[in-house]
Chain A
C-alpha cells in the first residue's frame, strides 16, 4: 500500500515536472556592458545583451551572417544606386507603447552621423547625404555615392533604431522594439530581460532571460558545473572544455566569429617597412602550433584578413607556409642575416598573451628577438593603436567584413598602398554581387602577397550550453546573443 502511494506521488511529481517546462534562461558572460546604449560605445557586451533581443535595426543579421530584413519590411534601390526607400513594418511599437514611425528612423540615422555623434562606427553612416521621412511608414535615404554594402551596414548593432522620447535614459533604461523588453540591471551582477507580449513579429519562446556577468574563468567553471547558468557564451577557460564535452549534462558549441587574429607589423617602422622582413616573419610563424598551444586547438588558420566562412573567402595560407629556413634566407636577403630586435606588445586577451609567448619562441628560432610587454587595453590603445609605438602586436579584429581598414593609411599598422585604396573605393560603390566577390578576392590576395601582417587564425567561439537548451547561435556573425528563438527541449 505504502509503496503504491509512493509510486503515485512520484509519478505525479514527474508529470507536473514535465508539464512545467522551463521558460527562463540564464546566460553567463565574461564582460558586463558599461551602459546600455549600443549606438554610443564599442563595447561588444552591449550588443551581446541587447542586439535583436531589445533593439532592432532596419536590417538584421541572421545566425549564418546573412543580412535579412528587420524593421524594414521591404526596400527599393534607385537605378543610380543612391536612393534607398525603406517601407517599415506596420504596427511596430516601442516598449514604452509609442509607435515606431519614419521619424524615429530619421532621428536615429541623423543622430549617428551628426557632427557631435559619439557612435563608435560613425563610418557606417558617413555616406548618407539625407534622410527623409516621406510618410509615417516610408523612409528615403539618399547617399552621396552608390554603396554596395549599405544594407549590410544598416544591420549593425550601432545602427539600431531608437526613439527620441527615450533617448535621454537609454544608457540605463533601453527602450527598443525587440521581442524582449529590458527589465532590470543589477550593476556588477546581472541584466534581466522579459518577453515583449506586444511584439510585432514571431514572439520569443522564453518568458525571461538573465545575463549574468562572471569575469573569472574559475568562477565561470563553478557556475556552469553547479548549473547556476544554463549557458556560458564564449567560455573563458578552454582547458575545461574537454570535461564539459564528456559530461552528458552539457554541450559544447564550437563556432566561428568575425575575429581575424593577426600578428600586426608596423609597416612604416624599420625593419618592417621592408617587405622581405615582413615575409620572413610570416614564414617564421607556425600557425597550427599557436592554435594548439594557445587556443587548445580551437581556431581556423587564415592566410589573409578574411573570414573562412564568408563565401568570398579564398585560402591563401600557402603564401606564408611555415618554413624557418626560408625565413632565415629572406632575412639574409634583406641584409639582416643576424636577425634583429623588436617589441611585441600584447593586449589582455588570452589569444594575445598565450599566443605571444609561442610567437616569441618561433621568432627567436630564426634570429628575431622580441621584447614582450603585456598591456591593458587602455594602454594598448594609447601606445600601440593611437601612438603607433610598436614593432609587433597581436590583436583580433572582430568587426565583420573589415578588410577596408587596409585602405586607411593612418590605421595603426600603417599600410599605404594606393592600388588597394582604389580597389576598396571601387568596391564601396559596386553593386554587382559577382564583381564584389571578385574584388574582395583581389583585396585578400594583395594584402596576403604584400605580407602586411601575419594572418594567424580565425578566432573560434566556444559556448558551453545545457544539453536541453536549443537555439543558441553557435557562430557570432556579429556581437550578438540572439535569444529570440531559444527554447528548452521537452
Chain B
C-alpha cells in the first residue's frame, strides 16, 4: 500500500510541474494588457507605462514564471494586479465559500443518489425503478442554472423564504448556511441524477455476478448479499464519478455563483480573466488543478482500499 501511495505521489508531482508551465504559457499569451485595462480610454501612454513598471509587467517571462512558482512554494501567490492585495488572501476568502458549497452539494448528491440508486437496482423493473429512471433523466436534462432561477422565483420572490442571493459571511453560521442552501441544491440535483444512475447500473452489474449467486446459495438473503458483498464491489465506478463530481463542483460552480451572486472562486476567476489580472487567474487555475489532482490521488487511494487487488498492481 505504501509503495502504491509513493508511486501515485511521484506522478502527482510531475503533473503539478507540467500544469504550472501550461497554465503560465496559456495565460500569458492572451492578448490584452492589465495596465491599459485599469486606466481606461482617457489615460495617456506615459501613465500606462508607469503602471506597467509598478506592476512589474516589464520583467521577462522567465523571471516572472520563476518568481511565481518559487513564491507559491513558500505560500506567497503574489499581489493581484487589480485588487492590489495578496492573491493568497483573496483566494483564501473565496475558498471559504466555494469549498463549503462544493462539500454541501457533494453531501446532498451522495445522500440523494445512494438510496435512490440502491432502491432502483434492487427493485429493477418495478414502478419505483421506472420513476427513478425518469426523474434522473429529467435531472440530467435540466440545466442547473435554469433550475436555480426557478428556485429563486419560487422561494425568494414569491415565498420570501430565502434571499435571492449574496453571502452574509461566516460570522453568522446559520445565515451563511441558509445562503448556501439553494445554490447547493441547484448544484446537487443534476449530479445526484448522474450518480444515482451510475450507482444503479454498477450495482446491477455486481448483483448478476457469480459470487452473489454463491452467497445466495450459501444461505444469505438478497439483502445480506447486497450489503456485504455487492455494494462494496459496485463502489469503484461510483467513487470515480464522485471524484470527478467534486472537482466539477469546486471549479465549475461559476454559473451558479453568478446566478446567486456568491463571491466564490468561479466568479473570482471569471472577473480576473476579463480584467487581465493574470497573476490571479494563474494562481486560481493552478489551485484548482492542484485540488483536482489531489482529489484524484485520494480517489486512487480509495480504490486501493475498496479493491485490495489494486495495491499489488504496478
Is A43 in the interface zone, CB < 8 Å from B? yes
Flag whether B133 is at the interface (Cβ < 8 A): no
Quick check: A226 and B43 within 8 Å, CB to CB?
no
Residue among B90, B264, B267 with most chain A CB within 10 A: B267
Among listed A9-17, A217-225, A269-277, interface-contacting one: A217-225
User: Which residues on A sit within 8 Å (CB–CB) of B84?
Assistant: 34-35, 171-172
| Size band of the interface chain A makes with B | 35 or more
A120 to B260, CA, bound (A): 33
Whether, in the assembled complex, A216 has its beta carbon less than 8 Å from a beta carbon of chain B, the answer is yes
Kindly state the separation between the CA atoms of A188 and B168 in the bound complex, as whole angstroms.
12
Q: Are A118 and B47 in contact (CB under 8 A)?
A: yes
**Residues A378 and B261 in contact in the complex (CB < 8 Å), given A118-B51, A187-B90, A223-B165:** no
The chain B residue sitting closest to A121, CB to CB, is B42
Q: Decide: B43 and A122 in contact? CB cutoff 8 A.
A: yes
Question: Does residue A417 face the partner (Cβ distance < 8 Å to B)?
Answer: no
Instruction: Knowing A188-B268, A222-B156, A378-B33 are in contact, say whether A35-B43 is a contact too (CB < 8 A).
Output: no
A189's partner among B54, B263, B271 (CB-CB below 8 A) is B263
With A216-B258, A379-B32 as given contacts, are A188 and B85 in contact (CB-CB < 8 Å)? Answer: no
In the complex the two chains form, is A122's CB within 8 Å of B47's CB?
yes
A218 and B259 in contact (CB under 8 A), knowing A188-B94, A226-B164, A381-B33?
yes
Could you tell me if B160 and A226 are in contact, using CB atoms closer than 8 angstroms?
yes
Chain A minimum-CB-distance residue to B162: A226
Alpha-carbon gap, A402 to B38, bound state (A): 19
How distant is the Cα of A397 from the Cα of B40 in the complex, in angstroms? Answer: 11
Q: State which residues 166-181 of B face A: CB under 8 Å.
A: 166-167, 169
B276 partner residues in chain A, CB cutoff 8 A:
378
Contacts of B149 in A (CB 8 A): 218, 222
Report the number of A-B residue pairs with Cβ-Cβ less than 8 Å: 158
The reply to whether A378 and B275 form a contact with Cβ atoms under 8 Å apart is yes
CB-based contact B164/A120 at 8 Å: no
- Chain A, 4-33, contact with B by CB distance < 8 Å: what is the 0/1 string? 000000000000000000000000000010
* Contact residues of A between 175 and 212, Cβ < 8 Å to B: 186-190, 212
Tell which of B33, B37, B164, B274 touches A222, judged by Cβ atoms closer than 8 Å: B164
Contact A377 B37 (CB under 8 A): yes
From known contacts A118-B51, A219-B261, infer whether A381 and B37 are also in contact, taking CB-CB under 8 Å.
yes
Do B157 and A43 have beta carbons less than 8 Å apart?
A: no
B50 within 8 A of A: yes
| Assembly CA distance A117 to B49 (angstroms) | 10
Kindly list chain A residues whose C-beta atoms are within 8 Å of the C-beta of B58: none
What residue in chain B is nearest A214 (Cβ atoms)? B261
Q: Which of B36, B37, B169 has the most CB of A within 10 A?
A: B37
- A121 to B90, alpha carbons, bound, how many Å? 28
Task: List CB contacts (< 8 Å) of B222-241 with chain A.
Answer: none
Q: Which 6 pairs between the two chains have the least Cβ-Cβ distance?
A: A188-B263, A42-B40, A378-B32, A222-B164, A34-B82, A226-B164
Q: Can you list 15 residue pairs at the A/B interface with Cβ under 8 Å?
A: A118-B54, A120-B42, A121-B43, A187-B83, A187-B263, A189-B167, A218-B149, A219-B165, A228-B156, A377-B274, A378-B34, A381-B32, A382-B32, A397-B41, A412-B41
